[in-house]
Structure 1
Amino acid sequence: MASVSDTLPHKRERRKQDRPGELLEAALDLFVEKGFAATRVEEVALRAGVSKGTLFLYFPNKEDLFKAVVRENVVHPVNQGAAELAQFQGKTGELLEWMMLQWWRRYGATKASGISKLIMSEASNFPDLATFFREEVIKPADAMVRSVLQRGIDQGEFRPVNVDLALHSVMAPLLFLVMWKHSMGPCCPTSEQIDPEAFISQHAQLLVRGLSNS
């Protein structure tokens, strides 16, 4: 009979399996703290407790490392949300508010939301990364919002509007909250802090009233 120690992976094996995740976690921390340009792969490796050579075994360069961080922390939540939206059975106004709140809870409220600030700040200096982010994050997210707005129009709940313009009215307050969180928010006194979920709910309700076909 095999002993417990025989059936469990050795510490070294577990460590090797965990390394990609540890490197992505370290990279996320540093990208959010310092930005893309200022983050060095040596720092990522050091924070993850491995050598630079080990990092390059998993990610050939800093750009590939950044893309992996985005796919893990941004693309994945967007894909999850899209799958859940398709199953929603309630009114479109309720769906719109739910979608916006879920965006905040799964992304905006996490440290990964600092990636949005990074992209806004550094996109012009790294056009290839900006293109990557647009293709894998912005376009799918826009398509998701567009589908919700079109659903409301098709079901007669929303009046006909330019959906391509209206989607920015949905996303703008969410991006504002992220920028506030990673810039002025920490510098402001408690009395000036914004309750993100209360803000989002109010904005969603204002949007639904403005879009209402009744």
Structure 2
Amino acid sequence: MPDSPPASARERAARTKRERSRRALLEAAAELFAAQGWLPTRLEDVARRAGVSTATTYNHFPTKHALIAHVYAPLVAPPIERARALRAQGRDAVAVLEEHVRDLAVATREHEALTVPFVFAVQDHSARTGRAPDPADDADPRIIAPLAQLLGELIVQGQEDGTLRPFPPGRDFATQVLNLLLLRVMNRRGEPAELTAEIVLTVLFGALRPEVLVDAGRDGRPFAR
């Protein structure tokens, strides 16, 4: 009888199999969510497309909300990484904030077919829980793809250094600003990212730095590009 492989080899094989299953699930989910949207896509369908069991799917992703968030998170990671890099270089928080909103508009528009089901997942999860994002909730799409977190940090930094008005509270207002951006992507399909960004920035700075709009005059559009 042949000897059993050493434990380390078995562990590596199991880890490789698990990683392969996870990649297959994410790829299958991206295809189905983009093609079908949020409601028609079921975890069972994703499992079938990925060639794994439904039980395996649940072992990786506890809910459909978590699955779409894990699909979506890498797509919006570059704008977050770029904004953090700009902050690390000492760039002005307000300037980084404006660029970050523009970058988010580009990323969410570029991946519009997956942004829409992600928005549905966020709204559905929020309605079910009735609470703010909870870091302990591993199925909360707002935690898995934390789009509002850095936005809030930038607003708070601008409020603390006096370049932005102190009200509304930065972290709370960041959620409202992000919701505006995401809902516009969902409700205005095909709108240019530049226009989405301009509208969001006009609302954001209209509340937190209204002099920018006042100085631009009645017909001015200071955030147009």
Name the TM tier (shorter chain): 0.5 to 0.7
Q: 2:38 aligns with which of 16, 20, 35?
A: 35
Measure, in 2, the Cα distance between the counterparts of 1:45 and 1:108: 28
Aligned mate of 1:149, from 155, 162, 169:
155
CA distance in 2 between counterparts of 1:176 and 1:61 reads 28
Percent of aligned pairs sharing the same letter: 17
- CA displacement at 1:148 relative to structure 2: 0.9
- Residue of structure 2 in register with 1:201 after alignment: 198
Matches within 5 A, 1:22-61: 22-32=24-34, 33-36=36-39, 38-48=40-50, 50=51, 52-53=52-53, 56-57=55-56, 59-60=58-59
Q: List runs of 5+ in structure 2 lacking aligned partners.
A: 1-15, 212-225
Deviations 1:98-125 (A, max 9, x none): 1112223334431331233322564478
Match for residue 81 of structure 1? 80
Deviation at 1:24, TM superposition (A): 1.0
Q: Is the 8 A contact 1:74 1:137 kept in 2?
A: yes
Q: Deviations over 1:130-175 (max 9, x none)?
A: 963266157x443322211121122221232222453245224312
**Shift in alpha-carbon separation, 1:91–1:197, aligned structure 2, 3 A:** same
The alignment's C-alpha RMSD in Å is 3.8
Write out aligned runs for 1:59-78 (5 A).
59-60=58-59, 63-64=62-63, 66-74=65-73, 77=76
Indicate if the aligned counterparts of 1:101 and 1:200 stay in contact, CA closer than 8 A: yes
The size of the alignment, in residue pairs, is 184
Which structure is higher in helix share? 1
Q: TM-score, normalised by structure 1?
A: 0.63
Q: 1:168 to 1:92 in 2, by over 3 A?
A: same
Please say if 1:104 is aligned against 2:111.
no
For residue 119 of structure 1, the aligned residue among 121, 126, 129 is 121
Amino acid of the structure 1 residue aligned with 2:98:
E
Q: Which residue identity does 1:114 align to in structure 2?
A: V
Which of residues 163, 166, 169 in structure 1 aligns to 2:173? 166
Distance 1:80 1:71, change over 3 A: farther
Scaled by the length of structure 2, the TM-score of the pair is 0.60
Q: Separation in 2 of the partners of 1:115 and 1:194?
A: 17
